[in-house]
Structure 1
Amino acid sequence: MTFDFFDVQVVRHRALTPAAVRVTFAGPDLDRFAGGGRDQRFKLFFPRPGQAAPLVPRGEDWFGRWRAMDPATRGVMRTYTVGAQRDGEFDVDFALHPGGGPAIRWASGVSVGDRLVALGPTEPDNGGVDFRPPPDTEWVLLAGDDTAVPALAAIHAWLDPALPVHTWVAAEPGRCRPGAVRCDGDLVSPVRAATLPAGTPYAWIAGESGQIRALRRHLVQERGFDRHRVTFTGYWRRGATEDDLIAEAA
């Protein structure tokens, strides 16, 4: 079983910026939580108001049973990146953008002892890791918005320092945290204007799905990147919640 459920609780939290908080989770079975580093994604389930812990079915058909539950009582499922992992604990960075949903409201009032449920990897080579540059990669292009910052940081930490990396970070208006390179949400224009190196590239781009689709088209159609060497992920879509995207995919 590549992924399994883990009961976790908050053991530490600290503000990174006025718009971001780092939360450290621990749990009795996290020695089996085998994150693959890089952009390792996993699921967190949050409780509904009045619940001490989220209600999440376990077992083989957990997703079908979770979807069949009353949306007002079932745990809120969201996807996050493992920021860092140590023995028995891991970090998650939450962007506290205005108008956030249940997960952001939880993170805004987080307390030590808060209990969540994680659905995470039990093998380091798992389907939740997308950053996989081919062996012949000569340089890397990274681009993302504020939701991709934890993955971008983890990818940088994983990469060989000798491999050239070119990175762009932008944030949506109203979601901009201090230190963001651009605060207009536009990832395509700065990459289009850039002088890129020669050699065989590999690109990883993530963020708002419309921006990411446009950036991928630019890299493949205008820059001549092999489409198989561009990994792209829509972390969110303007005007839609993760619950909306889950319902569409069902």
Structure 2
Amino acid sequence: MTADALAFRFFSLHVVRTKALGPSLVRVTFAGDDLAHFHSDGLDQSLSLFLPAPGRTEPGVPVEAGENWYQAWREQPDETRAVMRSYTLRALRREPDEIDIDFVLHGVEPGAAVPAGPASRWAADAKAGDRVQLIGPAVADNRAIRFRPAEDTDLVLMWGDETALPALLACLEALPAGTPVRAWLEVEDARNIQDVETEADASVTWLVRDASDAEGSPMALGPIKTAELPAAERPYVWIAGESSRVKELRRHFVGERGIDRRQVTFVGYWRRGLTEEQLREQEE
């Protein structure tokens, strides 16, 4: 087994509780004996979550296949294969061992124009005892953590949509006291706005999208283009969310703001019009 593979492992978990954070956001808290071996610095830690196939109570994941689990998972019948989705860790706690994962709910409201996908349906109905599998870190510092400002960073710039809120807020909470930060967070409903707790010197701007907004630039592009940013010699940028919007913001920070591209972390968590399965097929 490779060193990289040893950094990650399967965890068998169950739901402890859920908490609505807004009309389209829900926090699910998981526990399980395996979490004693779960180690992460938090921040924007990426995870792979396996949910039971519709109509099933257990996620069908071929854990016994070891490093060949992915191929074995792909070869399972559609009706039993677990639903795999990518998420970021919101929080890790000890005594007792628990993790939080925040879900964005799409299409679960009555009369939704686009029906909910399997992950949204699962999260909307999740209850204590529901079982999942997860691939997560066995070592605290691992390649699935991308938020890595240099020690001498003198300004942190951040943008994220709903899918990036857990990571962005976790990063803000972890920044050292006094760190200058400008952050823009996009949500589709003002009721999804959350309290921000940080010791950093953070200016946080919440942007509520128009319900008709389906295409085009991020709302933040206008405010960011016109923003007067604090003087900085070593700025660091973290942007995450819908892929095309992330790319447009990256072009702004590198091309128009002149920030070294090596100091810009950009992550496309999803792509408009494509399911995660379709994205995965394009990448293979």
For residues 275 and 259 of structure 2, the distance between their equivalents in structure 1, rounded to whole angstroms, comes to: 31
In the alignment, structure 1 segments of 5+ residues that lack a partner are: none
The residue that corresponds to 1:54 in the other structure is 59
Which deviates more, 96-105 or 223-232? 96-105
Pick from 57, 62, 74: which aligns with 1:67?
74
Contact 2:106 2:117 in 1 (8 A): no
- Percent of matched pairs sharing the same residue: 48
User: Structure 1's 215 and 201: CA in aligned 2 closer, same or farther, altered over 3 A?
Assistant: same
Residue correspondence of structure 1 range 93-112 to structure 2 within 5 A: 93-98=102-107, 99-112=115-128
For residues 18 and 107 of structure 1, the distance between their equivalents in structure 2, rounded to whole angstroms, comes to: 13
Question: TM-score under structure 1 normalisation?
Answer: 0.95
For residues 196 and 100 of structure 1, the distance between their equivalents in structure 2, rounded to whole angstroms, comes to: 39
Pick from 230, 237, 243: which aligns with 1:197?
230
The residue that corresponds to 1:134 in the other structure is 150
Q: Which has the higher contact order (CA 8 A, sep 6+)?
A: 1
In the alignment, structure 2 segments of 5+ residues that lack a partner are: 1-5, 108-114, 194-205, 211-217
Residue correspondence of structure 1 range 121-200 to structure 2 within 5 A: 121-171=137-187, 175-178=188-191, 179=193, 180-184=206-210, 185-199=218-232, 200=234
Contact 2:89 2:101 in 1 (8 A): yes
The residue that corresponds to 2:213 in the other structure is none
Query: Cα deviations across residues 143-167 of structure 1 (Å, max 9, x unaligned)?
Result: 0111111111100111102110100
For residues 19 and 92 of structure 1, the distance between their equivalents in structure 2, rounded to whole angstroms, comes to: 14
Query: Cα deviations across residues 17-67 of structure 1 (Å, max 9, x unaligned)?
Result: 222111110011101011221101101101112211110112111112112
Question: TM-score under structure 2 normalisation?
Answer: 0.84
For residues 182 and 193 of structure 1, the distance between their equivalents in structure 2, rounded to whole angstroms, comes to: 18
The residue that corresponds to 1:32 in the other structure is 37
Q: How many residues align?
A: 247
The residue that corresponds to 2:136 in the other structure is 120
For residues 58 and 141 of structure 2, the distance between their equivalents in structure 1, rounded to whole angstroms, comes to: 29
Pick from 4, 8, 15: which aligns with 2:9?
4
| Superposition CA RMSD, Å | 1.3
For residues 36 and 102 of structure 1, the distance between their equivalents in structure 2, rounded to whole angstroms, comes to: 29
For residues 208 and 17 of structure 2, the distance between their equivalents in structure 1, rounded to whole angstroms, comes to: 30
Contact 1:19 1:177 in 2 (8 A): no
The residue that corresponds to 1:91 in the other structure is 100
Contact 1:41 1:79 in 2 (8 A): yes
Tell whether 2:83 aligns with 1:76.
yes
Pick from 194, 202, 210: which aligns with 2:244?
210
